[in-house]
Chains A and B, each alone.
Chain A
Amino acid sequence: MGRSVKLLIGLVVALAAAWVGHGPLGQGAAFIDRTEALARTAVRDAGVPGVDVRFGRDPLSRAAILSGPANDFQREGIGDLPGITQRVADVPGVASARWDNGGRPIPLVAETLGLAALAYLIGVVLGRILFRPKRKSFLE
């Protein structure tokens, strides 16, 4: 079996493991739950009643969708005073924050699989260095 086939099989196994962690084991949903709770705290701290924030659930995504009664000043802020949009966008884990439901956010599973592929690649590079066949002499 060729090297590239072996590395491809390894990549498929790594992505499958990442998908199992993200989906069936609930890691992706747990991340969105935590981020949503932090974003709700940020909205509450802004002190504008009736404003809510939620995240994409089908598919899971890190794009925050804001809704509720708020004027332009409350939404966008002024000068150094951040509005609700900026406060939510600054929450760790949030990719973007907007007031409408348009657009197509990047699914969380795609980001997780991308990160897993990167980790796999780092592992392969490290392994290439660690498990490189040693030369017996400089003439080989």
Chain B
Amino acid sequence: MSGLVALARFDLPILAVALVIGLAAARWAFTQRRKPEEPPRS
């Protein structure tokens, strides 16, 4: 287990990139885009 922790510390840049991609994917998946409202017809 401590060996895996050492690997995780060494691979910290890779893990940070994966975490950021996870954040971006969550934003993409969970944010609802609203359709622009149509202007009132005169």
Contact = CB atoms under 8 A, between A and B. Distances in A.
B8 to A, nearest CB: 6
Contacts, number: 131
A123 B19 CA distance: 4
B18 A17 contact: yes
A123 B4 contact: no
Contacts of A123: 18-26
Nearest to B26: A127
A13 B29 CA distance: 14
A124 B15 CA distance: 13
B32 interface: yes
Interface residues of B, number: 28
Interface in B7-42: 7-8, 10-11, 13-32
Interface string A13-29: 11101100110000100
Contact of A21 (B8, B14, B24, B30): B14
Main DSSP-derived SS at the B contact region: helix
Dominant secondary structure at the A interface: helix
17 contacts: A7-B29, A10-B24, A14-B18, A17-B18, A18-B15, A22-B11, A27-B10, A27-B11, A27-B13, A93-B10, A94-B3, A111-B4, A112-B7, A121-B22, A126-B22, A127-B30, A133-B30
Given A15-B18, A17-B18, 19 more contacts: A10-B26, A10-B28, A18-B18, A22-B14, A27-B14, A30-B10, A62-B7, A111-B4, A112-B14, A115-B11, A115-B14, A119-B19, A119-B22, A125-B22, A126-B19, A127-B23, A127-B30, A130-B26, A131-B30
Interface of B: 2-4, 6-8, 10-11, 13-32
